[in-house]
Amino acid sequence: MKKVFSVLICIITVFATSCKNNQKETNATNAYVSDETVQKIDTIEILKQRKIEIDTFISQNPKNITVLVKLIDQSNLFKVENENFPEPYDIETTFNIIKDNTGKIIYACEIPQSQSGDWFVVLNYYFDDNGKTFAFEKQTNSFGSMCAEITYETITEYFDDNLKSIGNEYKLVGDKNKKLNKKDCDLMDYEYKVLSNADSFVKTNKIKNTHKVYTQNFPEIEPKETQTNSKEVNIHIKNYISACIE
């Protein structure tokens, strides 16, 4: 009987110890997950701040902005100076390229042209010091969404060094910044692919170091050559780029 009792005591002791160990492991796991979550949140906040800094740099340095257009049935891009844009029906895509004071691309946006005029889409890229995409923002303004006269949808996503999403933000509003429920709206679905870095953006969109300046009498008169980093940028381009970063 004593042996049986002793065995039971041993079993209970082992079980109790096992429970304590499991509890410690669980606590340790929870602590690890908590630390990882905190670190992830900190990283996202750092990326958000970096995005704000780039937006501020853009608004304060209009001379660093290069505006390019891709015309329908034309393979090469043209540079836009002094707001001398082609007719909207001649434009396929507009690009804005921002370089920092060292000549490094830190931001780019792509604006596909709506021939119908009932939608407006901007694809915004933010690049880190190594040229990698750390934030991407898609803005879609459209008519006929059923829930408001005009809907303003903004999707912002943040990435790690491997272009893995680590956080996102979503905003959908109507007139007077009134919040809307996505389920109540028939939103436009514009397909896109996020490019991993500035080099991919430049290569994919055939952006070169030099582009010919668009002139209204194109193509009868050959436009002049110009550097994309020319400092002769009209201050009013600042207002145009604001469409990308608002």
| pTM for the whole structure | 0.75
| Mean of pLDDT over the chain | 81
Residue 230's DSSP bridge partners are: none
Computed over its alpha carbons, how large is the radius of gyration of the chain? 27
Phi, psi (5° rounding) for residue 128? -85, -170
pLDDT tens by residue, 137-149: 999 999 989 999 9
At 216 the pLDDT is 76
CB proximity list for 156: less than 8 A, separation 6 or greater: 135, 136, 137, 168, 169, 170
Amino acid making up residue 200:
S
Helix (H) or strand (E) holding 79: strand 77-79
pLDDT tens by residue, 150-192: 999 999 999 999 999 999 999 999 999 999 999 999 998 899 9
- Give dist(CA 38, CA 200) in Å, integer: 32
